[in-house]
Amino acid sequence: MSCRVGVAQICSTSNIKHNLDLCFDFIGKALEKDVRVLFFPEATDYIAQSSAESKKLAKSTNAEFIIPLQEHLKKLKKEIDVSIGVHLPEINDPNDRVRNCLLYINHAGTIMSTYQKLHLFDVPGSNLYESKTVVPGMKAPIPIKTPIGMLGPSICYDIRFPEQGLYLRSKGSDIITYPSAFTVKTGEAHWEILGRCRAIETQCYVLMPGQYGKHNGKRESYGHSMIIDPWGTVIAEAVKNEDELLVAEIDHYKLAEIRKNMPLLEQARHDIFDSVS
Ligand SMILES: O=C(O)CNC(=O)[C@H](CS)NC(=O)CCC(=O)C(=O)O
């Protein structure tokens, strides 16, 4: 059984059809490399110019992006699953906000899990204020069983909250994914360090598919997609600002050895700190 993962670095625009075609290309490329699960960034369906445009586009993602992607996987009849960031409309919201979600779609085109982003990226005093457009999730993430191991879902800004990673590890995750659209400024300062910290403290593989480049006249993302092993080593990395597919093996033997040689979960002082949170 293949335990190979792919991490897609892309640059989504507000053209949903174009973004979908890009996903189909990446799925084809990943199949050539024997990838079992392919990970796409946050907001793969679209990156909008404005809050108003995002609210409008979210109404059509189901029909124009998600269902066609499910159909594509079903028709392919190949052993490849997809983890992908999308927007979904929030039904009956007076402010017409959207949900920022991560879907896990299996090779038969079935949505096996939907995680809704918990921490919203609100930069005080700036035009990056996610909660103007997005409704925060209200449920703890649930790791799911996949052909490559137990997968814990998170999205982008969630990477800054170590408790989410530790929670996912405590619930059995082997792999945590942080699909992202990081800003260039914060990415340069923090992206790699945050990813390596989450990998080291959770002793999980950390998969970081990132949006890169200019999405429109106003938005640009950092890229630098990465795959990090549970020792904290970056084992694959996008070095250029372009479309790229990273590939790596999930080594369950390595995972078990690292956890056996440094049993952090057993040594943690739950007796002291669980009462704090
Ligand atoms: O807007 C969309 O459609 C997709 N969502 C995003 O790009 C989100 C909200 S603006 N970006 C982040 O969370 C960046 C976090 C970040 O850069 C950091 O933590 O430093």
For 4-39, the pLDDT digits (tens) are 999 999 999 999 999 999 999 999 999 999 999 999
CA 266 to CA 259: how far, in whole Å?
10
CA distances from 185 to 3, 13, 191, 217 (A): 34, 20, 10, 17
CA 227 to CA 216: how far, in whole Å?
27
- SS3 state of residue 231: coil
CA of 78 to the centre of ligand 1 (A): 32
Report residue 127's pLDDT band, with 50, 70 and 90 as the boundaries: confident
Name residue 173's amino acid. S
Q: Does residue 178 line the site of ligand 1, with CB under 6 A? A: no
Tell me phi and psi for residue 272, to 5 degrees.
-90, -50
Residue 42 is among the residues annotated as catalytic for this protein: yes
> Percent of the chain beyond pLDDT 90?
96
Is pLDDT at 275 greater than 70 in this prediction? no
Model pLDDT for residues 226-248, shown as the tens digit of each residue? 999 999 999 999 999 999 999 99
Catalytic residue among 55, 101, 117, 220: 117
Helices (H) and strands (E) in the chain, counts: 10, 14
CA of 182 to the centre of ligand 1 (A): 5
Catalytic residue among 11, 23, 101, 156: 156
Sorted by sequence, the CB contacts under 8 Å of residue 115 that are 6+ apart come out as 101, 102, 137, 141, 142, 153, 154, 155
Domain that holds residue 181: 4-273
CA 184 to CA 182: how far, in whole Å?
6
- SS3 state of residue 273: helix
Residue nearest to atom 17 of ligand 1 (CA): 182
Residue 156 is among the residues annotated as catalytic for this protein: yes
CA distances from 219 to 46, 79, 184, 189 (A): 12, 35, 10, 18
Residue 145 is among the residues annotated as catalytic for this protein: no
* Mean pLDDT confidence for 48-69: 97
**Domain tally for the chain?**
1
Tell me phi and psi for residue 55, to 5 degrees.
-60, -35
CA of 43 to the centre of ligand 1 (A): 9
CA of 131 to the centre of ligand 1 (A): 11
CA 184 to CA 158: how far, in whole Å?
17
Is pLDDT at 255 greater than 70 in this prediction? yes
Model pLDDT for residues 144-197, shown as the tens digit of each residue? 999 999 999 999 999 999 999 999 999 999 999 999 999 999 999 999 999 999
Model pLDDT for residues 215-228, shown as the tens digit of each residue? 999 999 999 999 99
CA 162 to CA 31: how far, in whole Å?
33
Query: In sequence order, what E strands does the chain have?
Result: 4-9, 37-39, 81-89, 98-105, 111-116, 144-146, 149-153, 175-177, 205-208, 212-214, 220-222, 226-228, 234-237, 244-249
Average pLDDT, the chain: 97
Report residue 274's pLDDT band, with 50, 70 and 90 as the boundaries: confident
Q: Which of 116, 120, 156, 224 to mutate to test the pocket of ligand 1 (most atoms within 8 A of CB)?
A: 156
**CATH code where residue 172 lies:** 3.60.110.10
Q: What is the pLDDT of residue 175?
A: 98
CA 219 to CA 185: how far, in whole Å?
12
Q: What is the pLDDT of residue 2?
A: 78
- Where residue 172 falls (left for φ over 0; alpha for ψ -120 to 50; beta otherwise) is left
Catalytic residue among 42, 130, 220, 244: 42
Atom of ligand 1 minimally distant from the CA of 133: 1
Cα end-to-end distance, the chain, whole Å: 40
In contact, 204 and 175? CB cutoff 8 Å: yes
Is pLDDT at 276 greater than 70 in this prediction? no
